[in-house]
Amino acid sequence: MNFRRHIDRLLGHSLKAHGRPCQQAAAACCRFSPHGELELLLVTSRDTGRWILPKGNIERKEAPYLAAQREAFEESGVQGKVRKRPIGFYSYLKDGDRELQVSVHLLRVTKDSAKFKETEQRQKAWFRPSVAAPLVDEPQLRQLLSSLNALE
């Protein structure tokens, strides 16, 4: 079974955004290690240094999946094939008071650059899904990343 069909089968029950529009898009950047294990990319936030997915605002007239692809490149220097259909959604409080909805798009990494736009502001690291999930603070995102454990 190819990778895309396998993801579709496992995540066909994606979480819904509760009818609210998404203001941000995130990239769940993945690759296979030399040993064939699935790995996910996490980056640190600029303000608190906590582990997050590369994410950011969806620009006017920009498709969410393209926003996720752009943010992945800007925040971590990765490029690859992004899925148009989100694998899930989560919400979080921006600056502790404003709730934002985020669509999460799977991005299969084909190129990973050491130097990127925010190199001096962020760290990045690759983790197996079972290790990545508990590192993020947002419960809905943690649940979504945990669902990728089935791919390990």
Q: What is the CATH number of the domain that holds 69?
A: 3.90.79.10
Single out the residue of 36, 49, 35, 40 nearest to residue 121, CA to CA.
49
Task: Give the residue, 59 or 94, on which the prediction is more confident.
Answer: 59
Tokens describing residue 39: 């790995």
- Please count the structural domains in the chain: 1
Going by pLDDT thresholds of 50, 70 and 90, the confidence category of residue 93 is confident
Single out the residue of 111, 114, 152 nearest to residue 131, CA to CA.
152
Q: Which domain holds residue 55?
A: 3-151
Going by pLDDT thresholds of 50, 70 and 90, the confidence category of residue 98 is confident
Q: What is the C-alpha to C-alpha distance for residues 145 and 137, in angstroms, rounded to an integer? A: 12
74 is catalytic: yes
Q: What is the C-alpha to C-alpha distance for residues 21 and 43, in angstroms, rounded to an integer? A: 25
Q: Kindly name the residue from 37, 39, 71, 74 that is annotated as catalytic.
A: 74
46, pLDDT greater than 80:
yes
pLDDT of res. 24: 96
Query: What is the DSSP secondary structure assignment for residue 133, as one 8-state letter?
Result: G
